[in-house]
A and B are shown apart, each in its own frame.
Chain A
Amino acid sequence: MQALLPRFRAAHTQVLGVSVDSVYCHLNWAKDLGGISFPLLADFHPKGEVARAYGLYLEGAGITDRATVLIDAAGVVRHAASVTPAGQRDIAALAAECERLDGEYSGSVEDFAGPPGLPEGGLLYVKSRCGFSRAALLARDNLQLSERIAVRNVSEDATAREALVKTSGSEQAPCLVIGGDTIQESADIVTRLLEATAPV
């Protein structure tokens, strides 16, 4: 899925995953898959409400069907299909379906912005055994920013620690240095990364 995202983007299509898990499960799952940059939505409260509205909640099993719904930019369903929970989606065929819709669609759509709006040369300073550092790292990896933001561990690298103090005036980590900005709180770092990669 992640590999074909450029095709969906070119077809003006936002991909959204939906399941009845909580957002915390999603974050771990996304991490296990090596980062998922499209939104995974938690249909959790009340459980399965959105799946039910689309006729895709399997009441007996308490799970969502493995199904795909394509909605055009005017909010009309163009394609809906289930492959059953045990089945497997044909992602390339879905990409072709989106391209076909986009080709024949006459209403207005907006292009996706190019690569995430982050300056080049970002540096993320982290500490070992630090939950705040982990949170910042997790956001970087999940948002597919590993190639754009390098990591320096100040617990293991004295040169990096000196560079951090020189840049930010303190040893506080995590610290994101990017495009002339120095961002010290992990929540602010995550917010900065999310803003740069927001869906719309």
Chain B
Amino acid sequence: MIEAGKKAPGFSLKDQFQREISLSQFNGRRHVLLLFYPLDFTPT
């Protein structure tokens, strides 16, 4: 697992509305909380 203090790997992925969302678009604007899920249809 990635460790605190490391640079977060960049990414660009589509969301459920087909929007392309990249980590870099939040740079200098927002913190980002990534929730990784094993599969859909499972709890949060």
Give chain A's interface residues, CB within 8 Å of chain B.
1, 8, 11-21, 23, 25-30, 32, 36, 39-43, 49-51, 53-56, 58, 61, 63-82, 85, 88-89, 91, 94, 98, 101-102, 105, 107-110, 112, 139, 142-143, 190, 194, 198-200
> Cα distance A41–B21 when bound, in Å?
8
Can you spell out 19 A-B residue pairs with CB atoms less than 8 angstroms apart?
A: A18-B13, A21-B40, A26-B15, A27-B16, A39-B19, A50-B9, A56-B36, A61-B38, A66-B42, A69-B33, A77-B4, A80-B1, A80-B4, A81-B1, A89-B44, A98-B31, A109-B28, A110-B30, A200-B26
Give chain B's interface residues, CB within 8 Å of chain A.
1-9, 11, 13-19, 21, 23-44
Question: Contact at B37–A19, with CB atoms within 8 Å?
Answer: yes
Shortest B11–chain A CB gap in Å is 5
- Interface of B, secondary structure class, is loop
B39 touches which of A19, A89, A107 (Cβ 8 Å): A19
Shortest A130–chain B CB gap in Å is 20
Question: Contact at A66–B38, with CB atoms within 8 Å?
Answer: yes
A55 touches which of B1, B14, B30 (Cβ 8 Å): B1
Question: Contact at A19–B33, with CB atoms within 8 Å?
Answer: no
Q: Which residue of A lies closest to B27 (CB)?
A: A75
Q: With a CB–CB cut-off of 8 A, which chain B residues contact A94? A: 33
Q: Which residue of B lies closest to A97 (CB)?
A: B33
